[in-house]
Amino acid sequence: MSGTAPGVAAESRRAAVLGRPIAHSCSPALHRAAYAQLGLPWRYDAIEVGEAELAGFVQHCGPEWAGLSLTMPLKRAVLPLLDEASELVRLVGAANTVVLGADGRRVGHNTDVAGLVAAMREAAADAGTALGPGPGPALVLGAGATAASALAALAELGCSAVLVRARRPTVAEAELAGLAEALGLPATFAPWPAPGEPLPGREEAAVVVCTAPAGAGDDLVPAVPASPGVLLDVAYAPWPRPLVSAWRSAGGAAVAGDVMLLHQAVAQVRLMTGLGPDVEVMRAALRTELVGRLP
């Protein structure tokens, strides 16, 4: 559905992305572009909110509020504040979206998984290859809430197994093994790659998702394999991503977190407004924002 919806969607409403730090967020550019294209007189802000302030902020959101986008460290902290959560949120234990009803109900959703799946499929399509069904084994670099969403995305893509490599593999296993089992995705856990250790090629890891912070991902540039598969580096700043550039230079298909951000934001706009935004309008706004940040 596109165009302006009758009733509440056409009224002036508010939404925002919350997190700490938050100044780097590109979400305002994405959501504002969608509202303009849909003809909605809505407002979308980036607001710095930490875990300690989250409950108070959510409780004071009045009927003018339509929804919240959440970034770290709030995706798990918000769970006790929800009146209802989607099955996916309950499964992965993280919500990046809260839809706020006029009656005050707070419903949690996870659009990160949809964003991950769409970004990886887009990377493969741009390289002239198909991703799935059953693309083979996968590798996840890093742990935490985004890694949990990555496991769900890899299960949706039909990956046969996953290797999770983390700074603290025993902690990662404690946090993610149960989820992997629930997803029917055989998982093993190992330490973060040692300096100089190459990452597995496409036969050993057809799909690679780097959920680590930008600096850690940049350190993996020398580890790019000779025959890389599909890579998603969830970081997008600074842009362009060195790991993505090196991966493509080696002949692999790769995208950065801005593509994931785009597709998860499209899903957020649908949830908050009940309308279908133009993906390419939002993509153009995001690209303009990123280019404007270049030194």
The pLDDT value given to residue 214: 80
Are residues 114 and 267 in contact, defined by beta-carbon separation less than 8 angstroms? yes
The pLDDT value given to residue 132: 64
7-110+265-292 shares its CATH topology with 113-259: yes
The pLDDT value given to residue 240: 85
pLDDT tens figures, 180-203:
999 999 999 999 999 989 999 999
Of 13, 31, 32, 75, which one is the catalytic site residue? 75
The pLDDT value given to residue 116: 97
The pLDDT value given to residue 1: 42
Phi, psi values for residue 94, rounded to 5°: -155, 135
For 153-188, the DSSP string reads HHHHHT-S-EEEEESSHHHHHHHHHHHHHHHT--EE
The pLDDT value given to residue 10: 54
Q: Is 75 labeled as catalytic in the residue annotation?
A: yes
Are residues 130 and 158 in contact, defined by beta-carbon separation less than 8 angstroms? no
Closest C-alpha among 274, 275, 226, 268 to residue 28 = 268
Domain at 7-110+265-292, CATH homologous superfamily: Leucine Dehydrogenase, chain A, domain 1 (3.40.50.10860)
CATH topology of domain 113-259: Rossmann fold (3.40.50)
Domain coordinates in residue numbering, the chain: 7-110+265-292, 113-259
The pLDDT value given to residue 130: 66
Question: How high is the mean pLDDT in each 10-residue block of the chain (295 residues)?
Answer: 45 94 95 98 98 97 97 94 98 96 94 96 83 85 92 96 97 97 98 94 95 88 95 89 95 95 98 98 97 90
